Structures are given as C-alpha cells and as structure tokens.
Amino acid sequence: MGGQVEHLRAGIALPRLAACAGRTAVQLARRRIRFPRGHVGQRVRFADGSTAWVYRETVMERPPSLDPCVLIVQFRLRRVRGVGHQLFRAESWLNTPLFAGFPGFVSKLWFAADDFGVYRGLYDWDGPHHADAYVRALWWPLALVSELDSIQYHVLPGLRRDDVIADPTCIAGPAAADQWWRPAESW
C-alpha cells in the first residue's frame, strides 16, 4: 500500500488529529515517549539515489507489535531553502502531537531533507491499517506546508524499522530507482 495519499475528509481527520494530540500529552506526562539518540546522525541512501540523515528519533514505550509494519512518508516543504531547513528541523519538535498518540504508533526516525529537498519519516507501526489511517489524517497538516504532489507514503507489512535500516535486503524484490521509500544502504 502506498503512493499519493488519499486523505480523509477534514471533518474526520481534524478530530482524529486533536484526539492524537491529547493522547500524546498524556503519554508525555507519563514519560512513555522517549527521544533516544542512537540513530541520530545515521545516513541512509535510498533506492532513488538520494541520501538523508536522521536528525531525531521518537519512541513510544509499549508492548511489542503484534502486527509490525514499516511506514515511510515523504514530503517537500513549499518555499523552504537554506536556513529554512534548519528552522524546520528545530520547530519540528512541535509536530510530535501529530503522530505519537495515533493508535499503533511505535517509533519514528526523522530524516532531514535529502538531496532533492525531500523530508522522510520512517516509522514502526503496529498494524498496516493503523499506519494507513494515520497517514490519511496526516495529509492535512502536511498540505499546509508542503507541495501537495510530494506527499507520498509506502507501507511494508511484516517488517520492522530497524531491520529495514540494518539490512535493506529484507525487503522482497529488487530495488528500483522509482522506489523513493526503499532504504538501500546505511552508515
């Protein structure tokens, strides 16, 4: 599952985003959301030839996933260049309430803009249907700041984020240049 995001109607997405923010606040207060630094600075080359580095990691303390999947989201910010990327990375802490409280969230690697100015989030999610529901609501805040045709996603059922980063060959099939979502190498 993946491609261009078929977003939810605003009347459905906005209440879901608000509920997510409330659940995130509760989890932050309970100190169940952590920001480890183990992957920060790690670089990943993707199958499309672009390279990006991890600038933040967010992890929910929770039981192991019963139905693991990897979610990769990409977008390109409108009219952001140069120092604007540094400002976006700094303010992106404020975006945590837009995902950490969604059902099924496990973890996220935040990638800085790649060679083409594209940002990616690489998530562990519990359940592909939860990942899909999240990204369909996420379209709304991304649409406010992104080039609409750049908002895309891909779900890899049965895989875990760290496995995909450590050994990209765990993804079935040969890599292709149009697979913007597919890690090819990390260091």
Q: Going from the N-terminus, what domains does the chain have, and what CATH number goes with each?
A: 2-186 (3.30.70.100)
The helix/strand/coil state of 45 is strand
Cα 24 from Cα 102, distance rounded (Å): 8
Condensed to tens digits (0 to 9), the pLDDT of residues 82-94 reads 787 888 888 888 8
Cα 55 from Cα 35, distance rounded (Å): 11
Cα 147 from Cα 144, distance rounded (Å): 9
Distance set, CA 130 to CA 99, 118, 176 (Å): 11, 24, 27
User: Is pLDDT above 90 for 43?
Assistant: yes
Residue 8, pLDDT score? 87
Give the CB-side neighbour count of residue 16, counting CA atoms within 13 A.
20
pTM (2 d.p.): 0.93
The helix/strand/coil state of 153 is strand
